[in-house]
């Protein structure tokens, strides 16, 4: 197994710079995600902002991904490719973005209601946001990754929703995806062992939560992940550095 990298203070400072850019992009996109706007327009705005801040879009070109953000709507869970699709009143938009500064990455995601959304969508968003908060609250030096997984899963299932089991959070740093895997449920096949978090380890915690089944499938474009039953999904994410008592969120403005 690849050793889990512990970041130096200088490396964490670079990741914080990247994280600020990510947070700014999410604020920007949230503000312009209205009915009639295309997901391609959101991507252009995000890319322009990343470049203007002297950073690089982490996702653009990653394993061939063609855009700077992932824009996933309604039953789309993650990895939605921006395009000519126009947002509609009541849509649930998931925006995921990464930025690189001086060779180090940060990554975060939000779920955005487009106009007025239904009660089920609001409850789903709230549960997913609370699951992320619970996962972050479990992080400190000396705890195992499974503590994050258990905290996320409990909030989601107590709310009557399901946790996506086919995708996970992850370590992050010089590479966009590093060890350790950070599943959102316990007993995960992703964990061949249960790593202990050290001070200076950086992880991206990202609950993906569905109204119906936890099962997903990938569309013909090879990227967009959708719920198998085509019911709603929500997604929130932060990049965080492990400290002795509580994590430092790197993807805040």
According to the model, what pLDDT value does residue 253 have?
87
Nearest to 128 by CA among 70, 210, 191, 34: 210
Average pLDDT value for residue range 73-78: 98
Band the pLDDT of 167: cuts 50, 70, 90.
Answer: very high
Nearest to 174 by CA among 148, 145, 202: 202
Band the pLDDT of 193: cuts 50, 70, 90.
Answer: confident
Q: Which residue has the higher pLDDT, 124 or 2?
A: 124
Average pLDDT value for residue range 32-45: 98
Average pLDDT value for residue range 128-150: 97
Q: Which domains does the chain have, with CATH numbers?
A: 9-245 (3.90.230.10)
Average pLDDT value for residue range 109-124: 98
Residue 181 has pLDDT above 70, yes or no: yes
Q: Cα separations (Å) of 45 from 31, 42, 108, 110, 170?
A: 11, 5, 17, 16, 27
Average pLDDT value for residue range 166-185: 97
Band the pLDDT of 229: cuts 50, 70, 90.
Answer: very high
Mean pLDDT score of the chain: 96
According to the model, what pLDDT value does residue 3 have?
79
CB atoms within 10 A of CB 204: 26
> How far, in Å, CA of 44 to CA of 68, rounded?
8
Percent of the chain with pLDDT over 90: 96
Q: Are 210 and 86 in contact (CB under 8 A)?
A: no
What the block records as the tokens of 136 is: 């972050």
Average pLDDT value for residue range 178-190: 88
């Amino acid at each position: 197994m690849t050793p889990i990298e512990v970041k130096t203070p200088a490396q964490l400072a670079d990741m914080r710079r990247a994280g600020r850019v990510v947070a700014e992009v999410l604020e920007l996109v949230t503000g312009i995600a209205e009915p009639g706007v295309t997901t391609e327009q959101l991507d252009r705005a995000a890319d322009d902002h990343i470049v203007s801040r002297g950073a690089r879009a982490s996702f653009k070109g990653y394993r061939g991904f063609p855009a700077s953000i992932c824009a996933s709507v309604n039953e789309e869970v993650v990895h939605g490719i921006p395009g000519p699709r126009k947002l509609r009143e009541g849509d649930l938009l998931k925006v995921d973005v990464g930025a690189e500064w001086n060779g180090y990455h940060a990554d975060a995601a939000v779920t955005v209601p487009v106009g007025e959304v239904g009660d089920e969508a609001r409850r789903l968003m709230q549960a997913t946001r609370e699951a992320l908060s619970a996962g972050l609250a479990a992080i400190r030096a000396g705890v195992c990754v499974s503590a994050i997984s258990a905290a996320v899963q409990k909030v989601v299932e107590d709310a009557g929703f399901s946790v996506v089991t086919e995708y996970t959070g992850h370590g992050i740093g010089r590479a966009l995806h590093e060890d350790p895997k950070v599943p959102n449920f316990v007993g995960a096949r992703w964990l061949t062992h249960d790593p202990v978090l050290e001070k200076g380890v950086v992880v991206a915690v990202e609950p993906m939560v569905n109204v119906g089944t936890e099962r997903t499938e990938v569309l013909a474009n090879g990227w967009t992940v959708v719920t198998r039953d085509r019911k709603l999904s929500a997604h929130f994410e932060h990049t965080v550095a492990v400290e002795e008592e509580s994590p430092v969120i790197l993807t805040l403005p």
